[in-house]
Amino acid sequence: MSATDDPIRNVSDTALWVAMYRAMESDRPDAHFKDPYARRLAGERGERILRSMARPMSWPMVVRTSVFDDFVLRAVRDDGADCVLNLAAGLDARPWRLPLPESLRWFDVDLPDILGYKQRELANDTPHCRYEARAVDLRDAAARRTLFAEVAAAGRRTLVISEGLLIYLPPDAVAALARDLSAQPTFRWWIFDLVSPRLLERLKKTGMHKRVQANAPFLFAPAENTRFFVPFGWREREFRPTWDDAKRLKRRMSGAWWYDLILAMTPADRRRRALRFAGNVMLERAGGGA
């Protein structure tokens, strides 16, 4: 984690940035989650990345973390998920901080550098479940499919997580990933965050995201929304609009009242489409599963 003039050198560096947002939320007396590992994992470089941002925007990251926590806990508690495959896991510490059963198998997958860094930092901490790390470049199709087959054999009802990943992939790479995941019958659910083309264009114009874009460009925002995944064997189970959850959690952007006013005057059909501007999604297998 050496110093650099660029705030974000690559996609893996975004994990340091997001970990700082989790640390900031954890410090609040009204925190929606507690991540006691976040500040340690973010380190000095994570703090430096955050300071480099002219207008830090913690609220969507806090909402996403909270909603994903809910998705994971419900899948384990209510749906009987016995395995989790966490793609591009970054500095996610859920196996250590969430009340997960000891019997649950959890596979963290990421590039060797970021995964090795997390393993070293958490070497003296004990996860609540059966944790395993897999250093795999998901761009390598053969390695990816080998990994998926191995994980599919480890559980009967697997939840796949790709938090903060898809937006950095081109559509053809997302399609290939979706196809390879659905090829494994024990992979039952898939959760990720999703933005619309309009929001992607807005993000690209902000000063903060222009600094991120240089080395970690935003690429994926399908006009079809979750229908993009239907040809690859997935269907929408739940879409949680970020705007609604931000209001519920009282973690909102400045001037949110103005957008609320506009939405209140918008016809119901258009309002529903507008709320798909950004959200956190759970898909399920379209053809059932094991």
Domain range annotation of the chain = 63-285
Write down the pLDDT at residue 216: 67
| Token code pair at residue 141 | 């199709």
Given a cut of 50, whether residue 3 has pLDDT beyond it is no
pTM to 2 decimals?
Answer: 0.90
- Residues of the chain with pLDDT > 90: what percent? 71
Cβ 280 vs Cβ 71: under 8 Å: yes
- d(CA 85, CA 61) in angstroms, rounded, equals 21
pLDDT digits (tens, 9 = 90+) for 202-257: 877 665 555 555 556 889 999 999 999 999 999 999 999 999 999 999 998 877 76
DSSP class of residue 38 equals H
| 238: three-class secondary structure by DSSP | strand
Mean pLDDT across 256-271:
78
DSSP class of residue 276 equals G
Maximal C-alpha separation, the chain: 55
What DSSP letter does each residue of 167-221 carry, written as one string? GGS-HHHHHHHHHHHHTSTTEEEEEEEEE-HHHHHHHHHSHHHHHHHTTS-----
Give the list of residues 6+ apart from residue 276 with CB closer than 8 angstroms, or none: 196, 225, 239, 241
Write down the pLDDT at residue 215: 59
Who wins on pLDDT, 207 or 84?
Answer: 84
Mean pLDDT across 56-73:
93
pLDDT digits (tens, 9 = 90+) for 162-190: 999 999 999 999 999 999 999 999 999 99
| pLDDT band, residue 77 (cuts 50/70/90) | very high
What is the CATH architecture assignment of 63-285? 3-Layer(aba) Sandwich (3.40)
- d(CA 202, CA 180) in angstroms, rounded, equals 31
Write down the pLDDT at residue 9: 63
pLDDT digits (tens, 9 = 90+) for 99-128: 999 999 999 999 999 999 999 999 999 999
Give the list of residues 6+ apart from residue 171 with CB closer than 8 angstroms, or none: 219, 220, 222, 228
pLDDT digits (tens, 9 = 90+) for 87-101: 999 999 999 999 999
